[in-house]
Amino acid sequence: MPELPEVETIRLGLKKAIVGKTIAGVDVRVPKLFHGDKKSIIGKKVLDVGRRAKQIIIDVEGDNDLLIHLKMTGQLIYRPKQESGVASHGQIAGGHPSKDWTAVLPNGTTHIIFDFSDGSKLFFNDLRKFGWIKIFEAKELKHKLTEELGVEPFDKEFTTDELAKIISKKSNWNIKKILTDQTLISGIGNIYADESLFWAGILPTRIAKTIKYDEVLRLHTSIIKALQIGLKYGGSSENTYYKIDGAKGQAQEHFQVYAQEGKKCKRCGGVIQKIKLNGRGTHFCPGCQK
Ligand SMILES: [Zn+2]
């Protein structure tokens, strides 16, 4: 699952690529991955590319917008107008690290193709077909996202007091479960939950009600710090994420605990542990985290 820094990196690339372009056609090859009437966006201009949690919002002229979820293996590959379907200079979109980067597109994993009036194309590929694209009425979309998703870590509403309030509402949950519940805080997944808790010096297994206010303060700062490191290095490409311009994300080289099990802690020299918590691989340093 791509996390917030990965999706934000893809969003920024896509924004540069398609804002101002008119959607000339939408070729839906696998109908179950596309919801809504494509006619409602054809002939309309792309006004903006936004993000809410790990979903990409394409703001289209008129009443309807597009919501994209890449799920596990989704890819967005943008290619400027060209003679063949092969990658060339000027390709500024990408997806997961497969040969699709240089292969002829569309191919067997291409399920949806957007044609722009300048001849460029945006391909939505997805090996496992868990991702999707949906058309929403703009107001309905705003309402839906507000209902379903908690506060964004980079929004000004995400204060230390807000985090303390969220933690107090789930007093019997372990702290990692709270951080990764998208209805409470949106956009923190497995990787950045582990990294945030390391920076905060809090064990992922700690029960919410045992966490003191000074720890909440540290956790708040640490969430922002962990996500900013992710953004700075273009997100993680450890699993299946590439930046939209094709460069590999470098964030994983800066991880303190995630996927570092058995290695020495960069801070205390202790050994990073891995356990299963809430059904997910969970990493921590027993020396630095209490
Ligand atoms: Zn340590």
* pLDDT on residue 241: 44
Chain region(s) in the chain for CATH 3.20.190.10? 4-148
Give the rounded percent of residues in the chain with a pLDDT score beyond 90: 71
- Respond yes or no: is residue 2 known to be catalytic: yes
Strand order in 74-79's β-sheet?
Answer: 23-28, 110-116, 121-126, 74-79
* pLDDT on residue 206: 98
**CA 289 / ligand 1 centre spacing (Å):** 7
- pLDDT tens digit sequence for 208-250: 999 999 999 999 999 999 999 888 876 554 433 444 445 555 6
- pLDDT tens digit sequence for 99-138: 565 567 898 999 999 999 999 999 999 999 999 999 999 9
**CA 255 / ligand 1 centre spacing (Å):** 13
Mean pLDDT of 28-57: 96
pLDDT at 149 over 50: yes
Mean pLDDT of 155-182: 97
- Respond yes or no: is residue 206 known to be catalytic: no
Topology of the domain covering 4-148: N-terminal domain of MutM-like DNA repair proteins (3.20.190)
Among 54-58, 145-149, 204-208, name the most confident range: 204-208
Task: Tell me the C-alpha distance between 50 and 22, whole Å.
Answer: 17
pTM: 0.83
Start-to-end C-alpha separation, the chain: 28
Which class is 160-284 in CATH?
Answer: mainly alpha
Q: Confidence band (pLDDT; 50, 70, 90) for 268?
A: very high
**CA 207 / ligand 1 centre spacing (Å):** 21
Residue 186, both tokens: 């949106």
DSSP state of 284: E
pLDDT at 94 over 50: no
pLDDT at 47 over 50: yes
> Which alpha helices (H) appear in 43-137, and where do they start and end?
none
Among the listed residues 51, 52, 54, 177, the single catalytic one is 54
**CA 264 / ligand 1 centre spacing (Å):** 8
**CA 202 / ligand 1 centre spacing (Å):** 11
**CA 230 / ligand 1 centre spacing (Å):** 20
**3-class SS of residue 209:** helix
pLDDT at 275 over 70: yes
**CA 191 / ligand 1 centre spacing (Å):** 17
- Respond yes or no: is residue 280 known to be catalytic: yes
- pLDDT tens digit sequence for 185-199: 998 999 999 999 999
DSSP 153-175: TTSTT--HHHHHHHHHHTTTSBH
* pLDDT on residue 240: 39
What mean pLDDT, rounded, does the chain reach?
A: 88
* pLDDT on residue 2: 74
Asked whether the CA dihedral 149, 153, 158, 163 is positive or negative, the reply is positive
Task: Tell me the C-alpha distance between 195 and 130, whole Å.
Answer: 26
pLDDT at 98 over 70: no
Chain region(s) in the chain for CATH 1.10.8.50? 160-284
